[in-house]
Amino acid sequence: MSALRKNPTVNDIILLTGATGLVGRYVLRELLRSSRAKIAVLVRATSEKHAQQRIAAVLDWLKIDARLRQRVTTCVGDLARNDFGESQATQDCLQRCTTVVHAAANVSFSNDRDEELAKTNVLGTRQLLQQVGPQLRHWIQISTAYVAPTFDDIGVEQEAKQFDFRNDYEVTKAAAERMVMAVAATRGFALTIARPGIVVGEYDTGRASVFQGFYQPLRAVARLADRAKKNSVGKVRIPLRINVSPEGPRNLVPVDWVARVICELVRHGENARGIFHLTPEGSMQNGPTTSRDVFNAARSRWQIEGMTFLPELREKDMTTFERGFYRHLQQIAPYWSGEPRFDDRQRQALLPHLPCPRIDEAAIHRLLDYAVETKWGERSEKIAVTNKFAAADYFERFLPKYAPLSTLPRLSNVTAEVGFRVAGIHRGQWRCRLVRGDVVAVQRAACEGAAVVFEADGDTLEAIVEGKLSPQQAFFERRVEIAGDIEMGLKLAMIFGQFIVEFPYAAQLQRGQTHVAVA
């Protein structure tokens, strides 16, 4: 094998996966700015034209000029498939690439998607290793700091050998690390493993393309603030107790800094062998970002009163607001209670000129301002539905039939008139009468005067009643509006969600129930 050169040259090809993701797109921008090499991006798409359209949209979003775009080659490839198609351009890039930056990953925290996670994060990585040719000299694996072995609450820059992972995402990322290490030892290419902390938007602008993880609790707070009434001095009161230690560290890192570090690791070539944590520095001036910093920023951004910290808050002592809030955050719960600090001495030793900027209150405000301005990326979160759903059938046949069979609603002991206002092709209004939690009547009628009115479009309602979207999530993501008594509405949303777990609409239809459209 030829000697590894530092800093890829104009004759080299850098293969980048995951260029449409949050980290990958910024790595693409930095590679174009800081390297003279050609960049081949591997994109999941139905055709070469579709792949080119996806990357063109990313380059537009990044505001990359025409001159730099000429260095980008788009290749079709799906890591979750058994092969990368028959495109000659893709095969040429795979055979000729000298550096691989592997940023593609399934980042779901849901443990019910373990097969999908393994297909992309483990099997996909294996297939990519098998496809790249003998010109490969340097592989940069983008992993996560949360697979690091932890000693005395410090995550160290060592091989991921622990087994007490928080979710299947971490399990698959650790497995991918170990597999690449084994292959690198056999084939002899240099291996760099970059482990970012919690990646957020750009430091100076707050710009981001994804609003998950760190953003989820803040989006929920924003939603509650939006629905609360302002007092005489313009503040809103949200009686929400935050069950974390206020001084607990939050390993927030801006995506543009992460991308710069990764590109520096590319430039250093074989000198960058090893594991590098891309996390806030232990000696950071004024200390790391804390939970207090995050929620203080939310308080000031939305002029909130009433939010306090209560680390020992038990579920049985929670209010309706709090139960709805925490159930919405179930997927990030393993990271909610606390995080370790991370040892980053290897990164600091190699790249002392690139300190991690602290995400302080002003930076969090920039992140939130951009998220609010772009409506938390709502346009990209549309749930695919069948368009065969009839709201009338659900309210006038299904709900009256199955509600008496469930014990869950009766546990609420609620007596009230509840309205449902549905927009879209199956629009209409329905009124439901609850007596001590029992559904005693459902009829097509105007919602005016109901104690609580739920408003949604037909697609959202279909996703909810089929169990694809929880009512709480739909509310916090602004897909459902609640008019009237908000606290009662949130309580009913939780009960409705439990009923759907027992009796999901699609599942009942598949058991042979007749779908009767009611005029």
What is the extent of the structural domain holding 222?
215-249+283-338+353-380
Tell me how crowded residue 9 is: count the other CB atoms within 10 A of its CB: 11
Q: What is the pLDDT of residue 89?
A: 79
How many domains does the chain contain in total?
A: 3
Chain segment 414-437, per-residue pLDDT in tens: 888 999 999 877 689 999 998 887
> Same structural domain for residues 52 and 149?
yes
Does residue 137 lie within any of the structural domains?
A: yes
> Same structural domain for residues 77 and 188?
yes
> Residue 380 pLDDT > 60, yes or no?
no
Does residue 386 lie within any of the structural domains?
A: no
For residue 408, name the pLDDT band (cuts at 50, 70, 90). Answer: low
> Same structural domain for residues 372 and 242?
yes
> Same structural domain for residues 158 and 236?
no
In terms of pLDDT, which residue wins out, 11 or 517? 11
> Same structural domain for residues 25 and 108?
yes
Chain segment 209-222, per-residue pLDDT in tens: 999 889 999 999 99
- φ/ψ (deg, to 5) at 193: -110, 115
CB burial of residue 213 (10 Å; 0-12, 13-18, 19+): middle
Tell me the CATH number at 93: 3.40.50.720
| Rounded distance between C-alpha atoms, residue 97 and residue 76, angstroms | 15
The lowest-confidence range among 74-78, 114-118, 507-511 is: 507-511
> Same structural domain for residues 185 and 237?
no
Q: What is the pLDDT of residue 513?
A: 47
Q: Mean of the pLDDT values across residues 71-96?
A: 81
Q: What is the pLDDT of residue 372?
A: 93
- The kind and range of the H/E element at 274 are strand 274-278
Does residue 268 lie within any of the structural domains?
A: yes
> Same structural domain for residues 155 and 183?
yes
| Rounded distance between C-alpha atoms, residue 26 and residue 204, angstroms | 14
In terms of pLDDT, which residue wins out, 115 or 392? 392
> Same structural domain for residues 228 and 264?
no
> Residue 396 pLDDT > 60, yes or no?
yes
Q: What is the pLDDT of residue 511?
A: 47
Chain segment 325-352, per-residue pLDDT in tens: 888 888 888 888 788 889 999 999 999 9
> Same structural domain for residues 135 and 244?
no
Tell me the CATH number at 429: 3.30.1050.10
Of 99, 109, 184, the C-alpha closest to 144 is: 109
> Residue 442 pLDDT > 80, yes or no?
yes
- Where does a domain end: 278, 294, 315? 278
Q: Mean of the pLDDT values across residues 54-70?
A: 93
| Rounded distance between C-alpha atoms, residue 12 and residue 9, angstroms | 5
> Same structural domain for residues 119 and 26?
yes
The lowest-confidence range among 51-60, 107-116, 166-175, 273-282 is: 107-116
Q: What is the pLDDT of residue 519?
A: 26
Residue 105 near residue 20 (C-beta atoms within 8 A): no
Chain segment 288-309, per-residue pLDDT in tens: 899 999 999 999 999 999 999 9
For residue 287, name the pLDDT band (cuts at 50, 70, 90). Answer: confident
